[in-house]
């Protein structure tokens, strides 16, 4: 994963066209599409991606998540590696930090401020649009222990019933600690738990607490007031898992509760995704506070993945059912198209931008018609790719330029550098390249997705 420090690039200084929160199938697809839009005749957007986990791919990294049809399947890892290949191709940075707040700033021309991480590592980034693709919950490092102590509920209740019974049996017989981690809806599993305990004749004390519930005060009050909780309160504990630890297998978890951290020795955790499918764990503070959520806490979107906050889009599991990789990817792509339209029309005031191969317009294009054009007098150009890629593209174009001059020229085109008319004038004089020629070069770089309008 790209880090803030890699390549010495300070992403905080750059205003991205779109910031994508979440590097699952929805977020990765959105970021790639924002940059690609279409292969020919479209400005690429600059994109940055954030993920709370060190590993990009979201739930698509876990065994059960496959892109399937009745007669084909893309296995876990396969899909993610294809997406990450494109992320790399486009030099899209992925920042391994948890986003905590998204604020629409009035002072900075209505840009979004994205606050990530807390404490010493806390940082702010800026973007003209935001795509929320946070899935059902922020991941930390559970992938490292997947099938080595971390399990996930899937394949429906028949299967979950069998899993719970097997895990309780193993815990009781082998003196291991097993917990089910979910939210208030994990109480729906109580009958499976009771029938396993009773059927296996396990001592309640030996396996309690069995549930770890990620709930805030409001939910805790509701849960503790309920009949089930009152009868079986010894089975429940509260807190949020923020880290999984162990040498070869899971040995312990770090749990946060009311701002305090505690460590618990645990051999097996069943992540109850059925409960997160009913209520996602979404804790990003959004300002201005707007009615963008459903009562269960999912983000409400229109057909274009837009929310009630202009410039803020959402895609994938955070928008509620149906949960699938294909839907996550499709909605991520939709969100990117909508963000593109918003940024080009409202932020960059581009009149003729084109998102589809054949513009559905009833008009006769002139002989000099171009879908995109670059006017060096008005536009600032943002370099979006590394200079070695720029070099590959520019070299054939500037084959008559001396090597030393060519290298000097590359300094103007280093990644996330904004090149404006002053730079173009300098380049023009230094290398004796007419501005019109430079304009053609920049158009070429835009076609190659190496640069975009700033």
- CA 179 to the chain's CA centroid: 28
By beta-carbon proximity to ligand FAD, the closer residue of 44 and 138 is 138
CA distances from 193 to 40, 145, 149, 166, 212 (A): 57, 23, 19, 11, 14
Min. distance of Cβ 422 from ligand FAD in angstroms? 37
Would you state the torsion angle of the CA atoms of residues 343, 347, 353, 355, taken in this order, to the nearest 10 degrees? 10
By beta-carbon proximity to ligand FAD, the closer residue of 103 and 347 is 103
Reference 168, options 193, 149, 185; nearest CA is 193
By beta-carbon proximity to ligand FAD, the closer residue of 280 and 452 is 280
Min. distance of Cβ 179 from ligand FAD in angstroms? 17
Query: CB neighbours of 349 closer than 8 A, spacing ≥ 6?
Result: none
Min. distance of Cβ 275 from ligand FAD in angstroms? 11
By beta-carbon proximity to ligand FAD, the closer residue of 176 and 327 is 327
By the 8 A CB rule, do 61 and 144 touch?
no
Min. distance of Cβ 29 from ligand FAD in angstroms? 8
Min. distance of Cβ 336 from ligand FAD in angstroms? 13
By beta-carbon proximity to ligand FAD, the closer residue of 140 and 354 is 140
Reference 245, options 150, 344, 109, 181; nearest CA is 150
Q: Establish whether the linkage from the previous residue to 209 is cis, with ω within 30° of 0.
A: yes
CA distance 232 to 68: 40
By beta-carbon proximity to ligand FAD, the closer residue of 284 and 292 is 284
CA distance 199 to 192: 10
CA distance 37 to 19: 16
Report CA Rg, the chain. Answer: 25
Min. distance of Cβ 406 from ligand FAD in angstroms? 40
Min. distance of Cβ 433 from ligand FAD in angstroms? 43
By beta-carbon proximity to ligand FAD, the closer residue of 323 and 431 is 323
Would you state the torsion angle of the CA atoms of residues 291, 297, 302, 308, taken in this order, to the nearest 10 degrees? 20
Any idea what the Cα angle at residue 35 is, between residues 359 and 374, rounded to 5°?
65
Residues that bind ligand FAD (CB under 6 A): 21-27, 50-53, 58-60, 62, 64-68, 98-99, 133-136, 138-139, 152, 154, 273, 284, 316-317, 323-326, 328
Min. distance of Cβ 174 from ligand FAD in angstroms? 25
By beta-carbon proximity to ligand FAD, the closer residue of 26 and 92 is 26
């Amino acid at each position: 994963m790209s880090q803030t420090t890699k390549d010495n690039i300070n992403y905080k200084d750059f205003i991205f066209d779109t910031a994508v929160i979440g590097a699952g199938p929805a977020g990765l697809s959105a970021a790639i599409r924002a940059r690609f839009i279409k292969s020919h005749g479209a400005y690429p957007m600059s994109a940055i991606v954030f993920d709370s986990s060190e590993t990009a791919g979201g739930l698509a990294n876990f065994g059960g998540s496959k892109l399937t049809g009745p007669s084909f399947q893309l296995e876990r890892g396969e899909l993610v590696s294809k997406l990450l290949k494109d992320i790399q191709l486009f030099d899209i940075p992925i920042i391994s930090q948890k986003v905590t707040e998204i604020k629409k700033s009035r002072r900075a021309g209505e840009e979004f401020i994205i606050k990530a991480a807390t404490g010493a590592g806390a940082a702010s980034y800026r973007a003209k649009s935001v795509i929320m693709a946070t899935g059902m919950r922020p991941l930390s490092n559970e992938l490292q222990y997947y099938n080595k102590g971390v399990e996930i509920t899937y394949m429906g209740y028949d299967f979950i019933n069998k899993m719970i019974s097997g895990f309780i049996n193993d815990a009781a017989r082998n003196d291991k600690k097993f917990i089910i981690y979910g939210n208030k809806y994990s109480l729906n599993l109580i009958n499976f738990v009771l029938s396993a305990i009773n059927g296996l004749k396990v001592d309640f004390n030996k396996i309690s607490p069995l549930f770890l519930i990620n709930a805030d005060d409001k939910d805790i009050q509701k849960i503790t007031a309920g009949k089930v909780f009152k009868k079986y309160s010894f089975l429940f504990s509260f807190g949020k898992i923020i880290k999984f630890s162990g040498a070869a297998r899971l040995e312990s978890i770090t749990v946060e509760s009311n701002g305090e951290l505690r460590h618990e020795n645990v051999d097996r955790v069943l992540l109850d995704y059925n409960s997160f499918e009913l209520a996602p764990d979404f804790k990003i503070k959004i300002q201005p506070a707007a009615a963008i959520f459903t009562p269960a806490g999912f983000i409400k979107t229109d057909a274009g993945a837009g929310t009630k906050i202009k410039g803020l889009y959402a895609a994938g599991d955070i928008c509620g059912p149906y949960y699938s990789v294909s839907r996550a990817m499709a909605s991520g792509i939709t969100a990117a198209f909508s963000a593109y339209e918003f940024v080009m029309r409202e932020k960059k005031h581009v009149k003729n931008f084109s998102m589809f191969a054949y513009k559905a317009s009833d008009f006769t294009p002139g002989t000099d018609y171009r879908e995109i054009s670059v006017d060096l007098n008005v536009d600032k150009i943002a370099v979006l790719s590394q200079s070695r890629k720029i070099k590959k593209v520019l070299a054939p174009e500037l084959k008559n330029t001396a090597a030393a001059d060519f290298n000097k020229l590359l300094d103007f085109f280093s990644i996330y550098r904004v090149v404006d008319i002053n730079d173009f004038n300098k380049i023009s004089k230094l290398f004796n390249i007419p501005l019109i020629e430079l304009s053609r070069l920049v158009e070429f770089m835009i076609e190659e997705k190496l640069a975009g309008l700033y």
